[in-house]
Amino acid sequence: MNISFTKSGRLKPKPSSEALGFGKLTTDYMFIMDYDAGRGWYDPKIVPYSPIPLDPSTCVLHYGQGIFEGLKAYRSPDGRVLLFRPEENARRLNNSCDRTCIPPLDENDILEAITELVRLEKDWIPSAEGTSLYIRPFIIATDPFLGVHPSRTYMFIIILGPVGNYYPTGINPIKILVEDEYVRAVAGGTGEAKTMGNYAASLKAQDKAEKLGCIQVLWLDGIHRKYVEEVGSMNVFFKIGGKVITPALSGSILPGITRMSSMELLKKHGYGVEERALSIDEILHAHKTGTLEESFGTGTAAVISPIGELLYKGSNYMVNNGAIGPVTSMLYDTLTGIQSGRLPDEFGWTFEVK
Ligand SMILES: *Cc1c(COP(=O)(O)O)cnc(C)c1O
């Protein structure tokens, strides 16, 4: 791919790592590539970060034909720049394209676009523990047309921003609301694709959870309101009676790369992982009988997030007395260690940007 480059006249000051938070800052440049039904994907370019003008009738603004990805670049102690399984993000981006009638990209082009931009912006990668450069690739439908129809033009854009901890509270156990009124997705819908609309659908429940003092929502399935699915933007795991259980990918759950990696690590550490339907009743029963040992969410943004308390139908249920359990901390330490190059990567998961 021949990526053209426009130099920025003025660079932004780099923040100190204490001030990072999540999603507040963007870097100096962005990648853009256009699509037209006659030409395919064309004109890849890296340009100064700036607003993009859109016609008020633009497709994505009305019907939400848009998808995204999220991954991170890490600075290793010896100064290397590492990505974590980026080829999985490229593959998933194309799966999300397929579900939303967006024309697929060449997965090598996606990786090349990410690595070119990250290489250019490598001075933005913070090095303090728990920090990284968040990478947000996304695609929007750009036809100026109010009819409901797949767009004939698109933009593929990548933006970057330095990040610290996802939750202001750091890696502390979170309290979550088990949501039995609103649903995120059903099989046959768009739950297994990373579409923008899934997030629009989640906001009302998230708002309710925050009002009840919770940080996230634990979604139940949309048909029986009984089986656990995901926690906000994370996949979810429960450890019950020595066994680690995560909901099977039933069509309404996003197939997380952190989920998949956690399962591989758990197997290596001798834990059987059951991928199956897990009902809220089974979890509450385990709580009652003292076998609910740990629970955590997995996702790129927060990596591993311990769950310390559930709120369900007005009652509170503590998990592991609200403390971080041993499996949760093993996964957090191992994953963040591999991702940031502090631990050896025997799986071949890291991808160095040279
Ligand atoms: C992105 C996302 C995840 C986590 O996926 P990772 O690849 O682990 O970052 C989980 N659930 C939803 C709804 C998501 O959008």
* Coil/strand/helix, residue 189: coil
123 secondary structure, DSSP code: G
DSSP H stretches of helix in the chain:
59-63, 86-99, 107-120, 196-211, 257-268, 280-289, 326-339
Nearest of 64, 2, 56 to residue 33 by alpha carbon: 2
Residue range 96-105: mean pLDDT, rounded: 98
Q: How far is CA 260 from CA 7, 240, 252, in A?
A: 39, 19, 16
259 Cα: distance to centroid of ligand 1 (angstroms):
8
pLDDT at 23: 87
DSSP string, 63-93: H--EEE--EEEEE-TTS-EEEESHHHHHHHH
13 Cα: distance to centroid of ligand 1 (angstroms):
31
Q: What is the pTM of this model?
A: 0.96
**Domains of the chain and CATH, by start:** 4-163 (3.30.470.10), 174-340 (3.20.10.10)
Q: Evaluate if residue 219 carries a pLDDT over 90.
A: yes
**Helix count and strand count (H, E) for the chain:** 7, 18
Give CA–CA dist 254/190, Å, rounded: 9
Cβ count within 10 A of residue 78? 7
Q: Evaluate if residue 167 carries a pLDDT over 80.
A: no
pLDDT at 170: 62
Quick check: CB of 216 below 6 Å from ligand 1? no
pLDDT at 168: 61
pLDDT digits (tens, 9 = 90+) for 113-152: 999 999 999 999 998 888 999 999 999 999 999 999 999 9
pLDDT digits (tens, 9 = 90+) for 172-191: 899 999 999 999 999 999 99
235 Cα: distance to centroid of ligand 1 (angstroms):
7
86 Cα: distance to centroid of ligand 1 (angstroms):
14
Q: Evaluate if residue 193 carries a pLDDT over 80.
A: yes
Considering the chain, what percentage of its residues have pLDDT values greater than 70? Answer: 99
Quick check: CB of 229 below 6 Å from ligand 1? no
pLDDT digits (tens, 9 = 90+) for 7-56: 999 999 999 888 788 888 999 999 999 999 999 999 999 999 999 999 99
Q: Which element (helix H / strand E) includes 298? A: strand 292-299
291 Cα: distance to centroid of ligand 1 (angstroms):
27
The per-residue b/e assignment along 197-213, b for 16 or more CB within 10 angstroms, e otherwise, is: bbeebbeebbeebeeee
Residue pair 161/134 in contact (Cβ under 8 Å)? The answer is: yes
* Coil/strand/helix, residue 153: strand
Quick check: CB of 257 below 6 Å from ligand 1? yes
pLDDT at 129: 85
pLDDT at 169: 59
Spatial CB neighbours of 255, under 8 Å, sequence gap ≥ 6: 92, 192, 249
**Which of 87, 184, 199, 234 is the pocket-test mutation for ligand 1 (most atoms within 8 Å of CB)?**
234
Quote the Cα angle for 30-32-33, to 5°.
Answer: 160
**Which of 166, 235, 305 is the pocket-test mutation for ligand 1 (most atoms within 8 Å of CB)?**
235
**Which of 194, 195, 303 is the pocket-test mutation for ligand 1 (most atoms within 8 Å of CB)?**
194
Q: Evaluate if residue 171 carries a pLDDT over 70.
A: yes
Q: Evaluate if residue 253 carries a pLDDT over 90.
A: yes
Q: Which atom of ligand 1 is nearest to the CA of 260?
A: 8
Quick check: CB of 96 below 6 Å from ligand 1? no
Residue range 76-85: mean pLDDT, rounded: 97
Q: Evaluate if residue 341 carries a pLDDT over 80.
A: yes
